[in-house]
Structure 1
Amino acid sequence: MPTSPDPRMLRIQLGIELRRLREEADRSTFEAADVLGCKQPKMSKIEGGSQSVQPDDVRKLLEFYGAPAKQRKYLAGVAEQAAKRNRPKKYHRDAVPDWFQRFLALESAATDVRLYEMETITGLLQTEDYARSTIQAWEPAADPRLVEQQVQTRMQRQAVLRSKSALRSLDVVLSEAAIRRVQGDSEIMQAQLAHLLELSERTDVEIRILPFDAPNRITVLSSFFLLHLATQKLSAVYLEDVLGATYLWEPDEYTRYSMTLDRLQAAALPAKESRTLIAKVKAAHV
């Protein structure tokens, strides 16, 4: 299985990160283009991920935007990888630790997200205490400072649920196991389920529970994300495991996963009945 990131994905990540840094620095695409000695349309293509950019030009932009040293080093490395002429691949495998930083960039720019979670309430919908408990359970010997950094990163991901983000819709199918499996203690679970109920009332968020007793349901053995980025014209399937992540973006692959999620949604309870089940499980933790 390939372990080197696909250049297209790296270009898209670079574009997202460079645009964010430019906006944080309150600079225009015209000013950024002047730094590179090019025209504004090229800068827009770079930020959209459709135009390659040389590592030295990335360094110039990072300096112009006043990016922190650690981020400059990381993104310069991404640019170096993107500049390599790798053979096209049907799928792209990322190894730890870069996979998560790449996912954060893609998630932050996604316009539509659909996902299926089996065992755990997905990170976008977690409370801080629930997130902390899941991280501590996974890494019980971790330095508390590292745990808190990871918790805050997970909370910052939820910025996509705010009004100024690119996200237009979030469709979630949770296995009933995800809401019944106790994470932390009853108090944490009660607060988490209350948070789910609150989010489920939003018009741009749909949460459906796939019940244990759903008849003739299909069996899907792993969680997955479907990400659509309108600006970058990218639709990708995101699969995660303990060693890293895999992206699939061939049209037939994306379509098959989309159809699978359609079937899971059809087998799940409607939104209103899902809220009733969540409330019932929440009441059991009183």
Structure 2
Amino acid sequence: MIGVAPDPKMLKIQLGIELRRLREESERTAAEAAAVVGGTAPKISKIESGKQGVTTAEVEKLAELYKAPAKRRKYLIGLASQLPKRSPRRTTYRDAVPDWFQRFHALEYAATDMRIYEVEIVTGLLQTEAYARSTIEAWEPAADPRLIERQVQTRMDRQEVLTRRQKPLNLQVVLSEAALRRVQGNSDIMREQLDSLIEASHRPNVELRVLPFAVPNRIAVASAVFLLRLKEQQLSAVYLEDVLGASYLDDPEEFTRYNVVFERLRSASLPEEESREFTAKVAGSYG
């Protein structure tokens, strides 16, 4: 049965990532943080790596020290309030909108390695601004333009994980040919997007492969799959998303099964240089 509460383990990891990011942005030391919660620097390290829980009172004190914006402070205190007092029985947890995105964003920010299979759309970390805007507008045609622009900017900001100086994300992406041929926006947007994919594929930390329709006897995977590894948090997790929410699978056997499936998709796809040539050919079809 699908639970309505988020995974406590993911909550602790998200809180740790967010609190560490706030601390670093405020240029506070772990010792300073420990002083306000009556602990030691190792305690802060455990909290920030997701290995130890944190109370709402501690989050409030840390957020005050870091001068976190009121909205962010309220959100993090709300997360801490959801942590169970005792360890629950293991089950399948599911995030509902809108927390799914904020939780995934935190995990993505802290990830050291990510493997993504996309079926119908170019993955968010490799989208151009125009392509991103078109996908968001398609989902929310009645949304206020200011909201659309904030979402576009957030998506663009996420891509910093690929270019940051300290520990850039190692990314492997397999795109179904459908993602290249399904028109998002118009021909100009698609041509720009595919040219951008080719450019991104030359980065040393990005591997991009295309899985063509013509590959015989390929396995069929109907939806997108995200595999994340967070070295510091010692986490390997599968992220699955649909229109109603998202699920996280962090059981070692489940992760391994999805990793095997990804490797089969990757092995069936074109090598990197051939994928670039294939993408360029499709880009040329947009005129």
| Structure-1-length-normalised TM-score | 0.98
Look up the equivalent residue of 1:190 and give its one-letter code: R
Distance 2:90 2:153 in 1: 34
How much does 1:83 deviate?
4.0
- Structure 2 gaps, min length 5: none
How much does 1:164 deviate?
2.7
How much does 1:202 deviate?
1.1
How much does 1:165 deviate?
4.7
How much does 1:88 deviate?
3.1
Q: Does 1:64 align with 2:61?
A: no
Q: Count how many residue pairs are aligned between Structure 1 and Structure 2.
A: 286
Q: Does 1:163 align with 2:168?
A: no
- Structure 1 gaps, min length 5: none
How much does 1:82 deviate?
1.5
Distance 2:219 2:31 in 1: 52
What are the within-5 Å matches in structure 2 for residues 1-286 of structure 1?
1-85=2-86, 87-286=88-287
Deviations 1:200-220 (A, max 9, x none): 111110000000000110011
Deviations 1:6-44 (A, max 9, x none): 111101000000000001101010110111111111111
How much does 1:163 deviate?
3.0
Contact 2:162 2:170 in 1 (8 A): no
How much does 1:87 deviate?
1.7
Contact 1:237 1:257 in 2 (8 A): yes
Contact 1:217 1:264 in 2 (8 A): yes
SS in structure 1 of the partner of residue 279 of structure 2: helix
Contact 1:117 1:173 in 2 (8 A): yes
**Identity fraction in percent:** 62
SS in structure 2 of the partner of residue 9 of structure 1: helix
How much does 1:68 deviate?
0.4
Contact 1:226 1:258 in 2 (8 A): yes
RMSD between aligned alpha carbons? 1.0
Distance 1:36 1:164 in 2: 31
How much does 1:84 deviate?
4.0
Look up the equivalent residue of 2:204 and give its one-letter code: T
Q: 1:62–1:83: structure 2 CA closer, same or farther, 3 Å change rule?
A: farther
| Structure-2-length-normalised TM-score | 0.97
SS in structure 1 of the partner of residue 150 of structure 2: helix
Runs (4 or more) in structure 1 with deviation over 6 Å come to: none
SS in structure 2 of the partner of residue 91 of structure 1: coil
